[in-house]
Amino acid sequence: MGRWLFWGVLLAIAGGAVSVWRGWLEVPPQWNPWAPLDIKAAPNWLTGYKLMRLRSDPALCEQALSSSDLRVSPQADSPGAKCPLVGALRVQGGGVALSSSFIASCPLAVAYAMFEHHTLQPAAQSVYGQKIARVDHLGSFACRNVYSRESGALSRHASADALDIAGFRLAGGRTISVLRDWPKQNQDAEFLRQVRDGACESFSVVLSPDYNAAHRNHFHVDVGRWSVCR
């Protein structure tokens, strides 16, 4: 009896999934695995899956990005380069200014928009009662190996899938630095830890000063296929 119940439930779930996929059964977009990602919608247990789908579907990624406030411009493709870029964007900022624009793959741009909306600003409001006005970064695209070694695997920076974030400026002018403030035990350190932990909901990899000395002055965030939050 138990076995038949198991198979009955499994078939019901499969039938429901097919019905949603085919459009025979309507569910709210946030609960539809095949609906485009809405960057401003509250994240749920399907968000990670929707972010993952963007890596192999440029049209779907572009559609998701259009739901954000980011200003972006397309970059010329460089398929013959040592570190080829296809479909890359220059991110110029949005609701939060940037210390400078940066080059990003579409999935990185979407993840950054999610991070800004759902992690960065809520953390700033929670800790300081004001918004973040600017994000200071150390760059994104760089055609190099991991840790700039002479040999070995290419860094996620080599495909514009990574960004190094060094600090933040509040609307009131106060600055928070990963290098200066992470080791402290105060409000700024609390904010940085909230940002690090929340970033793991948008990016697949987040490396902070807790990871190693090479990250003592920044958060490395990327949208590669590995999953690390430290």
pLDDT per residue rounded down to tens, the chain (230 residues) = 555 444 443 343 344 344 444 454 577 888 999 999 999 999 999 999 999 999 999 999 999 999 999 999 999 999 989 999 999 999 999 999 999 999 999 999 999 999 999 999 999 999 999 999 999 999 999 999 999 998 889 999 999 999 999 999 999 999 999 999 999 999 999 999 999 999 999 999 999 999 999 999 999 999 999 999 99
Q: CA 19, CA 102: separation in Å to the nearest integer?
A: 41
Provide CB contacts within 8 A for 78, sequence distance 6+. Answer: 84, 85, 86
- CATH 3.30.70 correct for 70-229: no
Give this prediction's pTM.
Answer: 0.89
Measuring CA to CA, how many Å separate 158 from each of 68, 73, 98, 176, 201? 25, 19, 21, 28, 23
